[in-house]
Amino acid sequence: EEQLVESGGGLVQPGGSLRLSCVASGFSLNSYWMHWVRQTPGKGLVWVSRIKSDGTTTTYADSVKGRFTISRDNAKNTVYLQMNSLRAEDTAVYYCTRDNDWYFDLWGRGTLVTVPS
Amino acid sequence: SYEVTQPLSVSVALGQTATISCGGNNIGSKNVHWYQQKPGQAPVLVIYRDNNRPSGIPERFSGSNSGNTATLTISRAQAGDEADYYCHVWDTTTACVFGTGTKVTVL
């Protein structure tokens, strides 16, 4: 069964850092672009970042540019999101999702990041 | 930046048809994808590229896209279809946009 499992969320003080991980199983990550999408509790989906299958290209939403870094280790079938200088408005559930020709066909269950105000 | 709007909520009687709109400037020129999200769960793809169903998604789910509006249609609505639904487009190759989301209630 194809699956994505996120981890690394938690409570962090403003200005702090967290690294999220997304481990893929049941398929090989190295064929796919991968994305992070977040959702503030009770709100909608917001795209955060993406990384090309070979890791050579990354893109970020303006709201996280310069603070977040996406990376991947295809040998470990894992995608990461390094989050620095965290703010209260970064509080959300962070989902890892697989890009299959510009649509997201597989999602993880998400990991909650809480930054108190 | 490109904006995509959806109605906040849609109600449908059990067994009837629900339609969820996704409005954007000339959205008919873009590929639109739709996701279903039930409370406490991750989103699930239900329609991709306007009108294609992934395997495992019932035929009751269909999509269309023309002009300034894309539409997700749920025929013969069931209680299990209650969820939030989001449309999704790429404005450019680097601008990923989700709709505001629509809560579907089955009466």
Within 8 A by CB and 6+ apart from A56, the residues are: none
Nearest-by-CA chain B residue for A108: B42
- Which of B31, B42, B49 is facing A110, going by the closest CB pair? B42
Judged by CB atoms closer than 8 Å, whether chains meet at A104 and B88 is answered as yes
Question: Mind telling me how many Å the CA of A12 is from chain B's nearest CA?
Answer: 22
pLDDT at B1: 86
- Which of B31, B43, B94 is facing A59, going by the closest CB pair? B94
For an interface test with B, give the residue of A6, A38, A45 to mutate (most B CBs within 10 A): A45
β partners of residue B86: B35
Q: Exposed (0-12), middle (13-18) or buried (19+): which is A24, by Cβ within 10 Å?
A: buried
Range from A17-31, B68-82, B84-98 carrying the lowest mean pLDDT: B84-98
Q: Which two tokens stand for residue A96?
A: 């890892």
Q: Is it the case that residue A14 has pLDDT exceeding 90?
A: yes
Q: Which two tokens stand for residue A23?
A: 């481990």
Q: Is it the case that residue B94 has pLDDT exceeding 90?
A: no
User: Each residue of A27-77: pLDDT tens digit?
Assistant: 999 999 999 999 998 899 999 999 999 999 999 999 999 999 999 999 999
Residue A46: its chain B contacts at CB < 8 A?
98
Within 8 A by CB and 6+ apart from A50, the residues are: A33, A34, A35, A36, A58, A59, A70, A99, B96
Residues 40-79 of chain A with CB under 8 A from chain B are 44-47, 50, 59
List phi, psi (to 5°) of A57.
-130, 130
Map residue A30 onto helix, strand or coil: helix
Residue A95: its chain B contacts at CB < 8 A?
42-43
B92 touches chain A (CB under 8 A): no
Q: Is it the case that residue B93 has pLDDT exceeding 80?
A: no
Q: Which two tokens stand for residue B99?
A: 């709709």
User: Each residue of B27-82: pLDDT tens digit?
Assistant: 999 999 999 999 999 999 999 999 999 999 999 999 999 999 999 999 999 999 99
B44 touches chain A (CB under 8 A): yes
Judged by CB atoms closer than 8 Å, whether chains meet at B31 and A102 is answered as yes
